[in-house]
């Protein structure tokens, strides 16, 4: 389910408030624009998700620590199911967040994006379920590969290569 126009607007305003709060200590910096705040938010979410993916990869390829995998799978699932996607709202195709956005400037194919976002949400939720419930590391590894492929599919379509 893609968010409504209203929820996109609410999310944008909330994100801007969060960014202003987060930057309260940096009054000397230029005030962020709404797009800046949204781009920072999605870059932040990807940074945290990336760290947890790397930790799961280390675990499934090496010595498996179930507690670490459960924590990281829960973090990924809750972040990608936590309405991250409004942060790709119109107006954020180009801009400076923490760094220049790598979002492809030609913008968003909403239907394809919704499909890929849905895959990532479903794959991540299933990974969190398996990590907690299964003693079978191979099945966790297989599901983690699906999550990584979901990430890659979206990068292929929507992230600049250069």
Tell me which residues touch its own copies (CB under 8 A): 10-11, 14-15, 17-19, 21-22, 25-26, 29, 40-41, 43-48, 50-55, 58, 68, 71-72, 74-75, 77-79, 81-83, 98-99, 102, 159-162
Q: What are the angstrom distances between the C-alpha of 154 and each of 69, 119, 148?
A: 23, 10, 10
> Nearest 5°: phi and psi at 103?
-65, 135
Smaller CB separation from its own copies, 116 or 151: 151
Smaller CB separation from its own copies, 17 or 133: 17
CB of 157 to its own copies, least distance (A): 15
Per-residue exposure over 90-118, b if at least 16 CB sit within 10 Å of its own CB, e if not: eebbebebeeebebeeeebeeeebeebbe
CB of 50 to its own copies, least distance (A): 4
């Amino acid at each position: 389910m893609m968010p409504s126009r209203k929820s996109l607007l609410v999310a944008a305003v909330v994100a801007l408030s969060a960014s202003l709060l987060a930057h309260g200590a940096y009054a000397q910096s230029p005030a962020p624009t709404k797009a800046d705040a949204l781009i920072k938010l999605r870059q932040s979410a990807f940074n945290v998700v990336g760290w947890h993916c790397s930790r799961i990869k280390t675990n499934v390829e090496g010595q498996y620590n179930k507690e670490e995998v459960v924590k990281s799978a829960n973090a990924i699932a809750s972040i990608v199911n936590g309405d991250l996607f409004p942060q790709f709202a119109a107006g954020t195709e180009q801009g400076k967040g923490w760094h220049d956005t790598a979002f492809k400037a030609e913008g968003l194919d909403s239907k394809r994006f919704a499909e890929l976002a849905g895959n990532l949400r479903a794959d991540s939720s299933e990974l969190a379920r398996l990590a907690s419930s299964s003693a079978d590391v191979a099945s966790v590894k297989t599901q983690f590969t699906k999550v990584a492929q979901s990430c890659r599919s979206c990068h292929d379509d929507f992230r600049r290569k250069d």
